[in-house]
Structure 1
Amino acid sequence: MEIKEIVQQIALVCDDKRAEDIIALDMHDVSLVADYFIICHGNNERQVQSIAREIKDKMDEIGIDVKRLEGFEQARWILVDVGDVVCHVFHKDERSYYNLERLWGDASRIPLEIGLEG
């Protein structure tokens, strides 16, 4: 599976779990940490955990190894590391505080095919 397909799959999972303000950033020119970041948020700890758990389950289902899942217990900022793609699942309050979109403002946004009525 190509990396952009993985980005899209993760974004779809986030959307299915009603994550809000889902964005994907192309990190190639701005960071060595990962090729892509996905950033989203949930409105409470249970939703944040549910989003992260579903990402892990979906990656397992399609044979992609989740290298790390950090912050799950506190559910304020869960980092799901899929290698070249890192998904940041925030609690709404933490997302506005850390504002990764501004921090990584030089990264270009990738259009996502989510929230489309079929």
Structure 2
Amino acid sequence: MVKTKEALDLVGRIKDLLWEKKAEGVVALDLRRVSESLDYFVLASATSTPHLQALERHVQEKLEEEGLRPRPTEGQSPRWVVLDYGEVVVHLMTPEARDYYDLEGFWADADRI
């Protein structure tokens, strides 16, 4: 897992990886001011289930090359994938899931980075 001082660099790296694979609506939220237990979220939309899987695979493979592996998560779906890197949690969603769950609205007081 990452240390606090490295988390912001990891956020930037993940955003770049998502853009490489044409993710849409890539947004990073700094949750430290509004949550006692969460640090950073990176959110992105995929255009289809295969695109969602490609985004997940790309991020995992590239970060694994750097020695980073996500924590195990449960409940993956074809609409929403979560990659938990400790201080940085990545949410990859279909546009419908992103609209429905509205994490950006729920965390509206968080700073965008």
Q: TM-score, normalised by structure 1?
A: 0.85
1:62 and 1:97 mapped to 2: Cα distance?
34
Residues 1-118 of structure 1 aligned to structure 2 (within 5 Å):
2-72=6-76, 74-110=77-113
CA contact (8 A) 1:64 1:82 kept: yes
Bigger fraction of residues in strand: 1
Structure 2: stretches of 5+ with no match in the other structure: none
**Letter of the aligned partner of 1:53 in structure 2?**
R
Identity %: 35
Greater helix proportion: 2
Mapped contact 1:25–1:108 kept (Cα < 8 A): yes
Q: Which amino acid aligns with 2:67?
A: G
Pairs aligned (count): 109
Which amino acid in structure 2 is aligned with residue 87 of structure 1? Answer: V
Deviation (angstroms), 1:31: 1.9
RMSD: 1.5
Change (3 A) 1:79 1:6: same
Identify unmatched segments of 5+ residues in structure 1: 111-118
Change (3 A) 1:33 1:89: farther
